[in-house]
């Protein structure tokens, strides 16, 4: 692993574990809610697993543009009132087979539920730090599968270690691109500039050496 990526081993492994355990199958239509570090990797992973259409949903233009460069077929702003209708049209009124929830908001969770097809899979990745109100009747009515996919939920420390090499292999083999998501590296003397960039809305990961 390149030296500047050493600090990203944990988040990279966590995202890859989510992709491995998402249930994405050849020919699926897949949506990703939130196109930060995790979402950009999920775009790539879903495409590599054989998704027919990969749809990124993100309010920031720069992150939507980056997702298109990394393999997304379509990107949409969740604030656009037409977004859900367009997604349903793209999937012939059925909805997507798999949604990754990587935004961590109440609105994102509820939109993810609405755009899933019957028997679809909602892949939970985000941490929710505050209570949210969810409309979960569809989870029951339409037999949705709910998967909690974070490597920290692997039961024992031994199992986490056993997974680690496998999870980072897609990066080592050049299947997943990480460097387009990084800003820097900045020397320690430029730490103020690094934090300024990190606080900008479209920054993803900032590296300080």
pLDDT in tens, 148-199: 887 655 555 556 666 777 788 888 888 999 989 998 889 999 999 999 999 8
CA dihedral 190, 196, 198, 203 (to 10 degrees): -110
What's the CATH number for 10-153?
3.40.50.720
User: So what's the pLDDT on residue 152?
Assistant: 59
100-124 residues labelled b (16+ CB within 10 A) or e (exposed): bbbbbbeebbebbbebbbeebbbbb
Q: In what order do the strands lie in the sheet with 74-76?
A: 74-76, 53-57, 29-33, 96-101, 116-124, 145-148
What pLDDT was estimated at residue 141? Answer: 94
The Cα–Cα gap between 69 and 84 comes to 22
Prediction pTM value = 0.91
Q: Are 180 and 41 in contact (CB under 8 A)?
A: no
Name which of 3, 128, 111, 102 is nearest 43 in CA terms: 102
- Better pLDDT: 9 or 28: 28
């Amino acid at each position: 692993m390149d030296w500047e990526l050493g600090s990203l081993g944990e988040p990279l492994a966590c995202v890859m574990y989510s992709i491995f355990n998402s249930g994405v199958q050849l020919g699926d239509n897949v949506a990703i809610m939130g196109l930060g570090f995790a979402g950009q990797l999920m775009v790539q992973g879903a495409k590599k697993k054989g998704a027919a259409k990969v749809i990124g949903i993100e309010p920031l233009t720069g992150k939507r543009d980056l997702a298109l460069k990394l393999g997304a077929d379509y990107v949409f702003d969740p604030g656009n009132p037409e977004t859900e209708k367009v997604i349903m049209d793209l999937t012939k009124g059925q909805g997507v087979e798999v949604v990754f929830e990587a935004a961590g908001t109440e609105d994102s969770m509820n939109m993810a539920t609405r755009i899933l097809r019957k028997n679809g899979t909602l892949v939970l990745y985000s941490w929710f730090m505050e209570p949210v109100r969810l409309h979960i009747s569809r989870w029951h009515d339409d037999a949705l599968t709910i998967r909690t996919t974070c490597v920290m939920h692997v039961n024992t420390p031994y199992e986490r270690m056993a997974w680690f090499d496998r999870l980072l292999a897609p990066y080592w083999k050049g299947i997943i691109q990480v460097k387009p998501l990084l800003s820097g590296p900045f020397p320690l003397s430029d730490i103020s500039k690094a934090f300024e960039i990190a606080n900008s809305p479209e920054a993803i990961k900032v590296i300080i050496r």
